[in-house]
Amino acid sequence: MKFFTGRVVKRAILLFSCLLLLLASVCFAKDYDQLFTDANDAMAQGDLPAAIALLKKVEFEKGDESGAFVRSRMQIARLQFALKDMEQASSAAKEVLAVYPDNSEALNFLASVKQEQKPRYKVFIEDCLRFLPQLLKGAVMTITLVVCIILISPIGGLLIALGRISTFKPVSAICWFFIWLFRGTPLLLQLFFIYYGLPSLGITFKPFTAAILGLGLNYSAYLGEIIRGGIQSIEHGQMEAAKAIGMSYWQAMRRVIIPQTYKRLMPPIGNEFIALIKDTALVSTIAMVELMRSADQMFNAYFNVTALILAALIYLLFTTIFTFVFEKIEVRAGIYENR
């Protein structure tokens, strides 16, 4: 009987001790919760040193399942980093590693501190070497789009211009409607309709095909109006003289009228193609991976503005080259008029 009573007493004492430990841990956790709350209030008021002092009161305890120690030290590290005190920031992260050597958050933080302590020019060079390969791949796709549109849109624009000035009213009306539609609606809307809208009608295009179609139609409409203006700027007597020597309408257009428009057409057409380089960025909205899309993906992945700066420099390089080339073509096209 005494043995049985003794066992009951021991179990009761053990149970009571466990309850005391549980209550103590709960109270301890509540104290830490209050510390974190006070630290957050101090940060909200902009008093970062006070927040750091409060967080330092959190001490390491074995079996700390709440992670209060790690949480406090990493918050201290981030605050010290914001205050540009890299030594104290590293020290807080190392406190975590001293207890948990494999803590990935602390390891990544120390790597960020080390990166921040490098000279700015070295960081920029490293970022350039990291981002450039992917950006250059996107740049190749951008140039591919530009070259395709440069080959397609002048042909489409010439046909539209000839149809626009045609004496056959139905053809002229159709060409007028085409120009009115594609000049009067945003290019982005046109790309969306081709890539996202047409599939509802059973017509599906791959991103590259949709980009070529959207840009080609849009720029053909703009070039059509530019070419029409260039043709109609030639004196009507030129056509009459060509017909007087036995040329047909189309022969006169091909041999007399259109060659005289080259000098006048080069500046506006050059401007359109330079604008085209920048407009290719819009195809990134239809899952086309070109220069802008590549830069956007890397910026979202690394939150590093260097990717956007490099993309801007590549666009500037392309527009500079195209400007120089079209200036040379313009001079070449007007060589006989300058004599």
Give, in order, the Cα–Cα distances in Å from 105 to each of 86, 102, 116, 244: 16, 9, 16, 86
Domain housing 295: 121-337
Q: Are residues 164 and 275 in the same domain?
A: yes
Boundary residue ending a domain (80, 95, 117):
117
- At 204 the pLDDT is 92
- At 245 the pLDDT is 86
Q: Are residues 134 and 267 in the same domain?
A: yes
Q: Are residues 194 and 253 in the same domain?
A: yes
Boundary residue ending a domain (73, 92, 117):
117
Q: How far apart are CA 339 and CA 334, in angstroms?
A: 9
Query: Which CATH number characterizes residue 26's domain?
Result: 1.25.40.10
Q: Are residues 273 and 173 in the same domain?
A: yes
Boundary residue ending a domain (67, 82, 117):
117
Q: Are residues 290 and 196 in the same domain?
A: yes
Q: Are residues 78 and 125 in the same domain?
A: no
Q: Are residues 91 and 152 in the same domain?
A: no
Q: Are residues 134 and 272 in the same domain?
A: yes
Q: Are residues 131 and 251 in the same domain?
A: yes
Which residue, among 183, 267, 271, has the nearest Cα to 233 in the 3D structure? 267
Q: How far apart are CA 145 and CA 150, in angstroms?
A: 9
Q: How far apart are CA 324 and CA 198, in angstroms?
A: 39
Q: Are residues 77 and 193 in the same domain?
A: no
- At 282 the pLDDT is 93
Q: Are residues 205 and 245 in the same domain?
A: yes
Instruction: Give the other-Cβ count within 10 Å of 135's Cβ.
Output: 20
Q: Are residues 133 and 256 in the same domain?
A: yes
Which residue, among 265, 231, 264, 252, has the nearest Cα to 159 in the 3D structure? 231
Per-residue pLDDT of the chain (339 residues; tens, 9 = 90+): 444 455 555 565 555 555 544 544 444 444 567 888 888 888 888 888 888 888 888 888 776 655 788 888 888 988 888 888 888 888 888 888 888 888 888 888 888 888 777 788 888 888 889 899 999 999 999 999 999 999 999 999 999 999 998 888 999 999 999 999 999 999 999 999 999 999 999 999 999 999 999 999 999 999 999 999 888 888 888 888 888 888 888 888 888 888 888 888 888 898 999 999 999 999 999 888 899 999 998 888 877 889 999 999 999 999 999 999 988 888 876 654 554
Angle between helices 48-55 and 68-82 (to 10 degrees): 160
- At 24 the pLDDT is 46
Query: Which CATH number characterizes residue 265's domain?
Result: 1.10.3720.10
Q: Domain count of the chain?
A: 2
Which residue, among 98, 101, 97, 123, has the nearest Cα to 112 in the 3D structure? 123
